[in-house]
Amino acid sequence: MFDLFRSRERTVRYLLGALLLLVAASMVITLVPGYGTGWAGGSDPTILAEVGDHRVTAQDVRKIIQREVKGNIPEGMASVYVPSVVQQLVAFRATALMAQEMGFRVTDEELARIVRELYPQLWPGGTFAGKEAYAQFLASQNLTIPEFEETLRTQVLQARLDTLALESTIVTPQEVEAEFRRRNEAVKLQTVGVNPAIVRSRVTVNDADLAAFFEKKKASYRVPEKRSFLIFALDEAQIGATVQVPEEQLRQVYAQQQDRFRTPERVRARHILIKTVDRPAAEIPALQKKAEDLLKQLKGGADFAGLAKKNSEDPGSAAKGGDLDWITRGQTVPEFEQAAFTLKPRELSGVIKTQYGFHIIQVLEHEAARLRPFEEVRAELAGEAKRAQVYDKMQTVADQIRAALVRSRDEAEKIARENSVLVVRSENVGQGDPVQEIGVNPQFTAAVQGLPVNGVTPVVQISPAKLVVAQVTAIHPARQAELNDVLADVRQAYIIEKSTELASKIGAEMEARAKAGVKDPAQLAKEFGLEAKTSDFVTRVMSVEGVGPASDMEEAFRAETGASVGPLHIRGGVFFAKVIEKRPADMTQLATQRTSILQEIKGQRARERSELLRAGIVEELTRRKKIKIYEQNIQRLVAAYSR
C-alpha cells in the first residue's frame, strides 16, 4: 500500500544501461538455436540446471506442472512444456543472482514486512503468531519456510530490476501525441462480409442429415465414465454451533498474550499527491503552484475526497478520496511521517515536499500506543479459540466417519447424525461435472480418481471451512454414444461445419468479384444477398457491428474518405469496407490522456526491456559458467511425462 512513499535505490539504475548493452550483444547468440544449453551431464539425474549455488531440480518442475496443469501435460507437448518451465526457472534465479551482484539486498526486516503485508492473518492483534503457526500455514500450501522465503526474496529482487527498467525508459512528447492521434482518430464505415455466424441461418437441418453426419463421425462421440458418490460434508459453521468457550479460558489467554494486543501509535490519514517524479525541472514550479491552489480550495471548504479523486496522482489512494487507512511510524518517507504524526485530527498540512512530489495531508484520527482491553478483544479471542476447537473436532469426526465407512455405511451415517454432519448422494457425475455439496474441486477429483466401487476417499479439505469424505457407490463405464445421447452436440457440430463451408464458398466468390474490380460493399451485398451495414464512428479500440474489433481493419483507418478496402480476412471471414467519413482525434483532450498514455507506453517498453535484460543476464552468466543446463536430465523428465 505504501510503496509510493518508500525510497528507491536510484544509484543502481545507472548499471542498467550497461546491462542492456550486454543484452544487445547476447541476443545475437540467443537467436542461434542450441547455444547456451550448457553441459550435457550432471552426476545427479534429478538436477536439471544450476544457477550459482542454486539447483533447479526435477521436483521444482513437477511442482509447477502440478500447480499449473494439475500434472496433465497435453499429449505430445512434454518436449515443449518441460524445457520451457526449466528455462523460466533458470531466468528467475539468474535475474536474482545478477541483482545480488549489483548490490541489491532484501533484509530480514524487509522480508518480514512483506510477509506481514501478504498474510496479515499471521499477525493477529498486531503480534506475530509464531514460527510454528507460520510453518503450518505454509505447509497447507505445500511450502516450507525456507522455500517460501527464498522464492519471495527472489521475486523482490526481480521486481527491483523491473523498476529500474521502468525508470530508465524515456518516452518523448511527440511519441505520446502520435499514440493519442492513433487511438482517437475515428472512421465511419459501410461494411459487408461473410463468416460462419452470418450464414448460419441459411443452414437447414433434417434428421437424415444428422444421422449421416453422426455415422461419419461416430467414433469421436463417447459417453464418458460417470460415478455416483455417498458424501459426508463437514461444515465449520454447523459443527461450530455446538462449541462454547468458557470466559475463564478467554481471560487466561488474554493474560498470557497481552503483547498481541498492544497497538503502536498510528494515524488514519488521507492525502493529495502532485507527482514530480519523471517530470522536467521546468515544470516543478507549476506543479507546486497547483498543489498550493488545491490547498487554498481545501481551506475554503472544498471537499477533500472530491479533490483527491480528481487531482491526486497516487494510484493507490486517489480513487478512495486519498484515503491511506491507518499508518504507523516507519511506513512512509520522513517528511510525510513528520507531518502526519504532528497534525491534529481534521487538521490540514501545508504543501509537503517529498522525493515523490507535493503532498497535502489531512489526519482523520490519531491513536496513541495502547493495550486493547479484554472487553474489546473478547470476540476475537473467542473466535480464535472456537475455530481451533472446531477444526480439531472436524478432523476427529471426519477421521471417525472415514474409518467407519470402510467397515459399514450404516455406522458412518450414525456418526454423521450424532455430529450434525450432512450426508448426500450425488448420482452419475462425469469428469468435470459439479458434485453436490462440493462443486468442481480438483482436490476431490484427485481423491476419487481410480477408486473402485465402495472405495473410500481420504479426508479432503475442499475449502477453508469444509471437509468431506466420500464413498464410490457406482461406476458407469465410458461407452460409445448413440445419436440420442449426443443429439444437441451433433446438431451444433453439423451447423458449424455446414456454415463454415458455406461461408468459405461465398467468401471465395466475393474475392473473385473483388479481383474483377468490385469492392463496393453495397454492390457486393446486393449480389450475394447480404446486408451492408453502416457503423457509427469507431476508433481502433472499438468494435464494428457484424465484423469484430476495429483494430483488425487497420487498412480502413489508413484509407482516404470514399475509398473501398478489402478483402479483409478477419477471424474466419471475408469482409469489405468503404470509408464514409473520417474524424481526426480531438487534440483538446490530449491533456486528460497524456499521463495514462505515457505510462502505458513506458510500461510496454519496460516489459520489453525487462525481457531483453533477463535474456542478457542468462547469456552472461552462462558465459561465466555460473549457469549450467543438464539437457540429458531434462530429456529424462520429458520422457517420464511422455509415457
Average of per-residue pLDDT across 359-370: 91
pLDDT tens per residue across span 248-260: 877 887 888 887 7
Q: Which three cell numbers stand for residue 454?
A: 465402495
Please give the pLDDT value at position 488: 92
Name the CATH code of domain 226-245+378-477 (choices 3.30.1360, 3.40.50, 1.10.150, 3.10.50).
Answer: 3.10.50
The one-letter amino acid code at 249 reads Q
- In whole angstroms, give the CA distance from residue 210 to residue 208: 5
Residue 51's φ and ψ, nearest 5 degrees, are -125, 105
Q: Does the fold of domain 265-368 match that of domain 3-170+601-642?
A: no
Whether the Cβ atoms of residue 275 and residue 356 lie closer than 8 Å to each other? yes
Please give the pLDDT value at position 592: 87
Percent of the residues in the chain that have a pLDDT greater than 90, as a whole number? 42
Whether the Cβ atoms of residue 468 and residue 437 lie closer than 8 Å to each other? yes
Q: How confident is the model at residue 273 (pLDDT cuts 50, 70, 90)?
A: very high
Mean pLDDT is lowest, of 124-138, 297-311, 476-490, for 124-138
Average of per-residue pLDDT across 19-41: 35
CA atoms within 13 A on the CB side of 174: 0
pLDDT tens per residue across span 591-607: 888 888 888 888 788 77
> For the chain, how far is it from start to end, CA to CA, in angstroms?
47
Q: Where are the chain's structural domains?
A: 3-170+601-642, 186-200+486-583, 226-245+378-477, 265-368
Q: How confident is the model at residue 10 (pLDDT cuts 50, 70, 90)?
A: very low
Q: Which three cell numbers stand for residue 636?
A: 529424462
Sheet of strand 357-367, all strands in order from the earlier edge strand to the far edge: 323-328, 266-275, 357-367, 348-354
Q: Which residue has the cell 481423491?
A: 447
Give the residue, 543 or 237, on which the prediction is more confident. 543
Look at residues 370, 388, 394 and name the one whose alpha carbon lies nearest to residue 253: 388
The one-letter amino acid code at 135 reads A
User: Which stretches does DSSP call E strand in 141-291?
Assistant: 186-194, 222-223, 226-235, 262-263, 266-275
Residue 224: asked if its preceding bond is cis (omega within 30°), the reply is no
Residue 40's φ and ψ, nearest 5 degrees, are -85, -20
What is residue 482's DSSP assignment?
P
Q: Helix 78-101 to helix 590-623 angle, to the nearest 10 degrees? A: 90
Please give the pLDDT value at position 166: 66
What is residue 147's DSSP assignment?
H
Please give the pLDDT value at position 136: 83
Task: Round the average pLDDT of the chain to a whole number and report it.
Answer: 84
Please give the pLDDT value at position 35: 32
Please give the angle made by the CA atoms of 282, 285 and 291, to the nearest 5 degrees: 135
**CB neighbourhood size of 141 (10 A):** 8
pLDDT tens per residue across span 550-565: 999 999 999 999 999 9
Collapse the DSSP code of 193 into the 3-class scheme (helix H, G, I; strand E, B; otherwise coil) and give the result. Answer: strand
Average of per-residue pLDDT across 366-370: 87
Please tell me the CATH code under which domain 3-170+601-642 is placed: 1.10.4030
Name the CATH code of domain 265-368 (choices 3.20.20.70, 3.40.1440.10, 3.10.50.40, 1.10.10.10).
Answer: 3.10.50.40
Q: Which three cell numbers stand for residue 33?
A: 538455436
Mean pLDDT is lowest, of 20-29, 239-248, 590-599, for 20-29
